[in-house]
Each structure stands twice: as C-alpha cells, then as structure tokens.
Structure 1
Amino acid sequence: MSTIAAGTPARADVIGVAAPLSGSSSLLGQQLRNGAEAAAKAMTDRPITLEVQDDLCTAEGGATAARHFVEMKADFVIGFLCTDAINAAMPFLSQAGIPVVTPGVRTNSLTDNREKTGWPIYRIAPRDDAEEQAVAGLLLPLWRDTLFAIVDDGTIYGRNLAESFRSAAEATGLKPTFVDTFRPQLENQIGLVGRLKRAGATHVFVGGDREDVAIMGRDAQQLDYDLTLAGGEALRAATVNTLPAVGTLMIAPPDWSTEATTETLLQLRTAGIEPEGYVMPGYAAVEIAAKAIADAAAKGKSARSILDTEDFSTAIGTIRFNEQGDLAANPYRLYRFDGSQFVGLDP
C-alpha cells in the first residue's frame, strides 16, 4: 500500500487508486498513478489522501484492492485498466456505496448492465463502440456527395470498423462505390489502389493500420491519383517506414499529451512527468472525484447524485456523464495529417 497526501491532513478525503503496478501492464498503471498523484498535489482547497493499490490486472487483484478500499472507508475510487479487475471489484465497492471513475476500461457491458447491477460506475474512457459511432457521425456528412469506397485488412478490428461504417452509410441511403478486403503488410498496395481508381472512388475509408494506409497514400500519389484516405484510431501509431499522405483523415480521441491544458502540462513536466498514456486521464479522474466529494458535502447530497447531474471542469476538458455513467459526448474527433502530424479539425 502507498499513501500520499496533499495539504494538511485535517480531515482528508480518501480516494482509492486501483492500477496494475506489476506485471506486463505496470507501465500503464504507473502512468495512471503518476497522474493521480500529480492531481492530488495540485489541490489545496481540501486535503486529499490517495490509497494506491496494485490490482494486478486480474479478478483476484481487483477484489483484493476493493476490499482494502472498503476497509479504509474510501470516499471514492478511481482507476482500473482491466475488465477482469473492475468486474471483480465492483460488487464490493457497490455494496459499500463507493462510486468509481475508470479512465481505462472500454467494455460496453460495464455500463450497459448498470440498470441490472446498480453499480455506481462512471468512465472517462470511451466505450468500445464509440469509435464506430464517431466514424459514421463524422465522415458521412463530409462524404455524402462523394464517390467513396470502404476497404479493410481482414482483421477483427478492421473488418468490424469497416462494416459498421458501411451499415451506417447504407442506413442513410448511401452506397459505397467499391468494397474490398486487402492483404495487409505488403510493400505496396498498387493493385488495390488501381482498382479503387478504376472504380472512380475519390475517398476511401480503411479499416486497417497506419502503415497500410500510408502505403496506399504513397501509391496513389505515384499513380497521380487524387485520393482522400481516412481511418480510425489505429492511425495514431508510430510511423514504421512510410508517413501518411498529406490530407489523410483520422478519427480518434484527443492526444492528451499535447491537447490537455497548458498549465497542467507545465506542472507535470516541471515535476519530471511526461503526460503520456494514462497520466492525463488519471489526473482528470482525481479532479472529478475531488469535486464530487466536495460538492456532495456542501450540498448535502451523495457523490453519486453529483456525478449524475453536474459538469466537471478538468485538465482534459469539461466532462459530463449520461444516465449509464458513460461520457455524455463522444470524445472521438476528426484529425487531418499535415505532413508531420495529425492536427485536430474544428467541429
């Protein structure tokens, strides 16, 4: 167990932090912990004590962490990056009336079953289906009057993303001019690009990874083919060999290492913490927990009622939860590659 305090420990609010701090996910867990501790140190209005527990990214670890938080009479719990850990923890935390904010678990069922389980769980991570919804919601209005194609790399991720986009398009009366599955990880995609050109496609959604999309863009340029490519969150991966073509579109959540508030980024870097991965979500989760606890005390309400009804101003923007405990607004945004990086486009 690790405890860290911010301010004078008069009557500190106790916030539990559950994260995988050992094993293969320990790097991600440490990012979450770093963000949570930085947020606690930055808050001086009310003293905060963090109770940090290693949930091991397992059911057993999650249950053990939850029992510890109950014993410590935690006011709130943040964390959990693994489905098994949070599913095992929630029965204990729910029975104790301790609300939970998770910045990492995306599984739809976690909140879809809320009416049945009654679990007081809220998440600032996007749902599993948020990417599919955002692809359709952001691209279809832009591509309504274009000849667009849909291709995928045959993986579960790529095919599901492509098929959901196709279904959404056809539901609005739009039909792609070309649909295909391509072989990924080839040195070139000249054959595929040639077929797209012959089909007359001017825009293509690709259910696939960054390197394949980049190769398609390169090959289209070699064929003097004006083609706009778009893909999902996988395009945020590091470049392997080829940069995406200028104008390539990406649908992804914000990159908080660059898009969080300047003040918070400066605070973290001054403390020697790089705001990568789960650092900023961990920071925001503690901000939400602290406000929920404080507002509940001031207004004579439960922290859960505060979470259900109020907006939370955080280092990663204003957050509001819907009736299921999910984000009220889909966090995915549209980005455009400018030749060196993906830049967010105004809504």
Structure 2
Amino acid sequence: MTPARLTLALAALLLTAQPVMADILIGAAGPFSGPNAALGEQLKRGVQMAVDDINATGGLRGERLAVQFSDDGCDPRKAVDAATGFVSAGVKAVIGHYCSGSSIPASKVYQKAGIVQISPASTHPKLTDEGGWNVLRIAPRDDAQGDAAAALVLAKFPGKPIAILNDQSPAAKALAQRFRAALAVKGTAPIVDDTYKPGSKDYSALAERLRTAGAEVVYLAGSYVEGGFIVRELRDVGSSAQIISGDQLVTDDFWNVAKEAGEGTLMTFTYDARKFPAARSAVEKFRQAEFNPEGFTLHAYAAVQAWVAAAEATGGTDSAKIAEWLRSGNRVNTVTGEVRFDPKGDLIDPRFAWFRWIDGRYVEVDPATLEPPLLDTTP
C-alpha cells in the first residue's frame, strides 16, 4: 500500500471509530448511588425511555436527542458539581434533580448559565417560590400534599394522638411543616414532633418514645429507607399506630425494607399514571424490559415530553423561550396526562390520590371509604 493510500485508509478508520455525536444534548441528574439509588433509577429509566421514543419518531425538529446522566447522591454539593458539569458539556436542558435539596442549589447554576430545569420529583415549595425564571416541576408541591394528609387525619381520626416525624431533608421538613400548620388551623397539635437522622438502621429508641407517648397516628416525612426501618421498630415495640406519609413511600423498595410491618401504611401521591391510556405504550415497553415504572418514572418521561413540546412550539432550544412558553399555561400532553404550568413553574390543578399498602402492594384507595377499623395495622 502506498503512503497516500495508507493515509487515506487511516483517516477513514479514524472517522468510523469516532462516536456519533447527537445534535442536541440534555442532562439528567439524580441519586444513582447510595441509599436513594432506587429513586434515581426511576428518573434515569424514565428519561432514557423518553429520549429513545422521541428519537424513534424523528427526534426534535429532525435532530436526535442524547442524554448525559450525573449522579448527585441527593447531596447539595454533588448537585452543584453535577450542574457545573452539565454547563461545561453544553446541555440544552436539565431533567432533574430528584431530591429538593439537590434541585434548589443546582437551579442557581442553571439560572446563571441560561439553562431550563424541569424536575420530575422535587416537591419543596422553595424550589419554585424562590427559584428563577428557568425552574419548573412536574410533581405536586409538598404543601399541597401536607394539606391533603392533614384533612384526612382530621376527618378519619378525630381526637387521636398524632406524632410528626421528619428526616430533616428540605422536602421532608416542608412536608411536616405544612401538615403541622394544617392541623393547627383546626386547633390540633401533635403530642410528639421530632426529627431523626437518616442513615441509621436502629430506631428502637424513637419507636419506644412514640409508643410511650401513646401516638395513634404517625405522620412520617422522609425516605422509604428509614421509613421502612421505623415502621418495623414501631411494630416490634407493640405500636399499632397508623402510618401516613407522602410520595416517598410509594415504591416497592419501601416494602422491601418494612416487610409485613408496612401493611396498612397510607400515602399521598398523584394518580397512578401507569393506568392512564397515554402511558400504555411506555408502560408496556418498561415491563418488557422487566422494570416496573413506579413512583416518578413516568413523571421523568413526561418532563422530557414537556421540554420537547415547548421546543417544538418555540422553534428551537432557547431556554428562556421554552420556560416562558411552559409557564404561560400552555397545555402539554404527556404520559401522566395533560399538564399545565403556572407562572412560577408549578403544576396547575395537581390532583392527589391515596395509596395503601396491602399484601405487599400499594393500591389506590378511595379516602371516603377509609375508616379506622380498616386502617388498623395491629398484627
């Protein structure tokens, strides 16, 4: 082979060895390791499936999408590092973060860089109350969940001693605060109002304190991991208190920790999107991949859909135009149903459902039919 032919051959080889670069890059961040990794997996699966499906139908205005994932471990400092990395990579949008404690500090980085951020799971009011022009979320706020939980407790457990627990994370504190405030409006105060430290597997002292105080309802604001351990400890010390929580216990991983002790636990969450006609195709694909699209999986998918719909409507990937279009109340069809955002980036008219753990499955229930005998969790 002549030198010229060798040069051409090597050049061709180098060209074919180069990875095919996508035209449009988005970022997605969540806890892909650590105790909340199961929740991060929901976000990752939802985003990747949405990107794959959008590319299979022509992409965004004829251009392919690609996604870069970053693990923030639900840690604020790691979240800022992840955000800085996304900015350096030139992402056009960020789907995430999962935890409010990560989304809030990261949003400042994205705001400065001019990047729109859509969280599928961060529920702390501060994210949008104090956030910039670039922030939206496709999950209901904690204050709305806290109000719903307090209303049910006051209606179904009048006069029962109530305890409030939270794991001190931003979202949990906000959830507990709103629940507490809603009780106070009706002249009700908890007999125990305490925090606990995540990461422990021994909450026997906390459980004994609740039992001794006579708590018959425990509002638990925190991760499914510690939540599962606390519920087990409560049952071990003989407490049959009704456990009520938010969306973080709406995951099979809660039952994996709590086991039979989780029976009867009640949680607020949005209606199960897996049952929606719009989600049928995506749900089937997830199940073929042997993955249950529970929790916020479909919300992550919907967040990508919302961004793409706004990009299509505004004719490009300009974050300012996309955020303004979404915050103007325009309707977007997603796997979670039709969504609209208000000027702060919150969902307009979020709807809540109640779920209850029954025989190892969380099942949607009608709160009007719930009565204390039904909720009794005595072994």
What is the TM-score with the length of structure 1 in the denominator? 0.69
1:1-347 counterparts in 2 under 5 A? 14=24, 16-19=26-29, 31-43=42-54, 46-48=58-60, 49-55=64-70, 57=72, 58=78, 59-69=80-90, 74=92, 76-81=93-98, 82-83=102-103, 84-93=105-114, 98-114=115-131, 117=132, 119-143=133-157, 146-153=158-165, 156=168, 164-172=178-186, 174-175=187-188, 179-180=191-192, 185-186=203-204, 193=211, 196=214, 204-207=217-220, 209-213=227-231, 216=234, 219=238, 228-233=242-247, 235-236=249-250, 237-240=254-257, 243-244=260-261, 247-252=264-269, 261-271=279-289, 274-275=292-293, 279-297=297-315, 302-308=321-327, 309-330=329-350, 332-346=352-366
Query: Secondary structure at 1:243's aligned position in 2?
Result: helix
Letter paired with 2:68: Q
Letter paired with 2:59: P
Query: Secondary structure at 2:260's aligned position in 1?
Result: coil
Change (3 A) 1:80 1:179: closer
CA contact (8 A) 1:268 1:274 kept: yes
1:30-74 CA-to-partner distances (Å, cap 9, x unmatched) read: 65344223223323554232243354534244134224336xxx4
CA contact (8 A) 2:146 2:182 kept: no
CA contact (8 A) 1:159 1:207 kept: no
CA contact (8 A) 2:231 2:258 kept: no
Structure 1 equivalent of residue 14 of structure 2: none
1:71-122 CA-to-partner distances (Å, cap 9, x unmatched) read: xxx4x543344334332122112xxxx53322244454332224xx4x2221
1:220-240 CA-to-partner distances (Å, cap 9, x unmatched) read: 56xxxxx65434445442344
- Identity percentage of aligned residues: 24
Q: Note the C-alpha offset of 1:150.
A: 1.0
Letter paired with 2:322: A
CA contact (8 A) 2:217 2:244 kept: yes
Structure 2 alignment gaps of length 5 or more? 1-17, 73-77, 197-201, 222-226, 368-379
Instruction: Supply the distance in 1 between the matched residues of 2:139 and 2:173 (Cα, whole angstroms).
Output: 23
Structure 1 alignment gaps of length 5 or more? 6-11, 222-226
Change (3 A) 1:33 1:234: closer
Q: How many residues align?
A: 313
Instruction: Supply the distance in 1 between the matched residues of 2:161 and 2:33 (Cα, whole angstroms).
Output: 42
CA contact (8 A) 1:217 1:245 kept: no
Q: Note the C-alpha offset of 1:167.
A: 3.1
Change (3 A) 1:161 1:106: closer
Which stretch shows the higher mean deviation, 134-143 or 261-270?
134-143
Letter paired with 2:53: A
Structure 1 equivalent of residue 371 of structure 2: none
Letter paired with 2:137: R
1:268-320 CA-to-partner distances (Å, cap 9, x unmatched) read: 2334555356643331111112222223349xx94334312222222223322
Instruction: Supply the distance in 2 between the matched residues of 1:241 and 1:47 (Cα, whole angstroms).
Output: 42
Instruction: Supply the distance in 1 between the matched residues of 2:40 and 2:174 (Cα, whole angstroms).
Output: 29
Letter paired with 1:37: Q
1:145-172 CA-to-partner distances (Å, cap 9, x unmatched) read: x222212458546887556434322313
What is the TM-score with the length of structure 2 in the denominator? 0.64
Instruction: Supply the distance in 1 between the matched residues of 2:291 and 2:261 (Cα, whole angstroms).
Output: 30
Instruction: Supply the distance in 1 between the matched residues of 2:206 and 2:135 (Cα, whole angstroms).
Output: 46
CA contact (8 A) 1:17 1:50 kept: no
Instruction: Supply the distance in 2 between the matched residues of 1:21 and 1:189 (Cα, whole angstroms).
Output: 28
Instruction: Supply the distance in 1 between the matched residues of 2:173 and 2:117 (Cα, whole angstroms).
Output: 33
Instruction: Give the aligned CA root-mean-square deviation in angstroms.
Output: 4.3
Structure having the larger proportion of residues in helix: 2
CA contact (8 A) 1:4 1:50 kept: no
Query: Secondary structure at 1:238's aligned position in 2?
Result: helix
CA contact (8 A) 2:166 2:176 kept: no
Change (3 A) 1:325 1:188: closer
